[in-house]
Structure 1
């Protein structure tokens, strides 16, 4: 748990460097509006709309439910997977244990973000974006198959007991999806802007106090705090290196604290266990760059 002293230290750091904090927040806001919002919002609305549509009979076959979660959750960008799994758990389609494993497996950046922004704009080639997306999904599917094997060994839980009882309202599924999507978008914007600003301030403070390479320090810190800012910094400082695509793959696989906070907030709201998610992130940081190396 972060101590009160660290929080006060960060507050003082922001007060002492208001211009740097502003620049970091502004950069995070630009990245959110340019690289995330156009790709994320339409898919979140459609996914939420689909999940909130009343169905006469829910799927009872495990693989049907798991594939529904994977397809809807893994192709919409962060944190659509968490939103999808949480919604299916609310609807009684997934148990708590199933939700924990699926939260870990159904977690991937959207195709439009990887191919459109990372592939075309950062790597300079949409084909490279498709190869990166393929590597991400191979790693996720391997973890998904492992999760399904573990779940198969367990006795099925009573889904009706695991579902969260929500008050019934007369709101239409589309209006409900708009409301839920706006909450997710606000969460994403808040974390992206905050962690971009924090990473920028810490980078400047460290570079001022210690003689370090600014490019390496900035990229490392931003990659830890905010993925999109991290890949942008990596592009600015390491584009000419042969290892550049694999560095981008590692940063995207790690995700950064910004995305982790989004997932944690969504998962904790419905009490989904987080240990499988943490394990899957460690797996992907090593597996995705290696898979991309063989694909390229």
Structure 2
């Protein structure tokens, strides 16, 4: 009976949130349109050129048949980290789930690697954040280093504190997935699905963040730049970074604000990872802990090496 009450309450809350957002979008059509348009432009100019080529190449490599019967654990971890962490969001989730389907990773390993193999692509951090936002390529490299140092430390600490070594030792005893058709064509097909997922979440959460920040600014005495940056940072990372640049560029804390927003990722990216990981029923607990770790540790490391 208690479970039934909780289920009904959860359903009512969901309905209330959805209808509340629908009403907000109806009452603020121009703001919603402007937010969606800004999200679409950011996706096309800041995400698509950096993300699409790497997703296709990563998928192509993963879909090639693995002829090695027994691969050492460290090589599987290194493969997942290199392919996943350097491809940008959500390539890490795609890589880990694909390797789990192929029988290269166990469920425990996949959960830990889902949290560790989660980083923005080098081209995005160095090309967009470093060059265009910071105006300094070396600052982009330092931020990228801070992100990867935090991820590797988290993974090493997580492995060290596991109670049972066997839980991360043996991958699932699944047969090697048979490759059907041409690997490149299959990679392009699956990459298009991922890109649509990324575009959908970026545009939706950019619009939502813009509408909520406008409403919040109208209801309370808060400067628009602050409320908009906070709202967009919570909902959509790229839009939050752009808003922070528009309103806080040149201030001493600006680089560290960007580092914090990128570490937070935003609900848009978390939703992408959740949808992808759900296909293999990978535990999201390490991922959640890893994101909290990143929000705290990345800005500190970036400050120390900046």
RMSD: 1.6
- In structure 2, distance between residues paired with 1:152 and 1:139: 22
Give the TM-score of the pair, scaled to structure 1.
0.95
Counterpart residue number, 1:193: 203
> What secondary structure does 2:88 align onto?
coil
Counterpart residue number, 2:6: none
Unaligned runs of 5+ in 2: 1-9
Unaligned runs of 5+ in 1: none
- In structure 1, distance between residues paired with 2:261 and 2:240: 7
Pick from 146, 151, 160: which aligns with 1:149?
Answer: 160
Give the TM-score of the pair, scaled to structure 2.
0.92
Counterpart residue number, 2:171: 159
Q: Please say if 1:254 is aligned against 2:255.
A: no
Q: What are the residue-to-residue correspondences of 1:260-271 with 2, within 5 Å?
A: 260-271=270-281
C-alpha spacing 1:42/1:10, structure 2 compared with 1 (3 Å): same
Counterpart residue number, 2:5: none
After superposing the two structures, state which structure 1 stretch, 37-46 or 143-152, moved more: 143-152
Pick from 10, 22, 27: which aligns with 1:11?
Answer: 22
2:236–2:267 CA contact under 8 A, matched in 1: yes
Pick from 279, 287, 294: which aligns with 2:297?
Answer: 287
Counterpart residue number, 1:105: 116
Pick from 106, 122, 140: which aligns with 2:133?
Answer: 122
- In structure 2, distance between residues paired with 1:70 and 1:234: 30
Measured after TM superposition, the shift of residue 180 of structure 1 is: 0.9
Measured after TM superposition, the shift of residue 165 of structure 1 is: 8.4
2:107–2:172 CA contact under 8 A, matched in 1: no
C-alpha spacing 1:92/1:169, structure 2 compared with 1 (3 Å): closer
1:58–1:93 CA contact under 8 A, matched in 2: no
Number of aligned residue pairs: give it.
294
